[in-house]
Structure 1
């Protein structure tokens, strides 16, 4: 049963990392789902309350990092709330309109269009906001990927010890 537990957990972890690129997939839920399914199939014995407290803190960090990276990226490049909303909407819609490149083009165009329409900034500033949204998104991917690796590493340590 342990082999099946590991296979299921690894599949869940892989889907979580795919979620870094396709934000419609809730990465953090797949990571936690991998822990829960492993525990259900094999045993929760090695995953005590300290393990779960650590993981809950990482989950909170993941949600915060995602939002914060977008806000900081747009703000650092002079964007407004409209740019942040446009970036978020573009991030969700982009991959569906342009399957692979939409993940990068969507937030950029969303921020630029929102800035042009609602903030009445010039084209140059709107483009800078688009760049900021892209920087924020890429920073978010790296940060979340690192935190997810930490979560999985802690899981392995608790299971192995």
Structure 2
């Protein structure tokens, strides 16, 4: 049973890293659930303080994930139409069978959204760049946090290797 739970926790860690780039999975929060699975194992000791701090960080990152792309779009002159276009472009980019669709989609979506909103092409391009920059910044922050959680996971497993293996 211990090995099964460790595999489940490790899978959640990997899903958390993947979720850093996919909007359907809350990356750091998924990784945190992997830490929670370790905490629930009686043979492995995980500090409650560690669990609470990592939960707070995961929730803050989850909230910032919605704010950062909007800030990027607004900072570069984007409108609500550009932000909606970014979201739709991201969904289409995920589903489209093209390489880099997850990056190209939000950019093109913001650009088209701004053009539909009657912006000139220069303003639309600037807003699209801001949207892309916001998306990449948010993904990078989530990725770093998910990698840190993976490090915490490995550290905990390593400390309890005699009990686990």
Give the TM-score normalised by structure 1: 0.83
The offset of 1:157, in angstroms, is 4.7
Query: Structure 1 residues 63, 26: CA separation in 2 closer, same or farther (over 3 Å shift)?
Result: closer
1:90-136 alpha-carbon deviations (Å, 9 max, x no partner): 21232102354220111011111111112x21011101111111111
> 1:28 and 2:33 equivalent?
no
Q: TM-score under structure 2 normalisation?
A: 0.81
1:134 aligned residue:
132
| Poorly superposed stretches of 4+, deviation over 6 Å | none
Q: Which ranges in structure 2 are unaligned for 5 or more consecutive residues? A: 161-165
Q: Does 1:72 align with 2:71?
A: yes
Q: CA RMSD in A?
A: 2.4
- Report the Cα distance in structure 2 between the residues aligned to 1:91 and 1:7, rounded to whole angstroms: 31
Report the CA distance shift for 1:108/1:122 in structure 2 as closer, same or farther (over 3 A): same
Q: Quick one: distance in 2 between partners of 1:81 and 1:52?
A: 37
Q: Which runs of 5+ in 1 are unaligned?
A: none
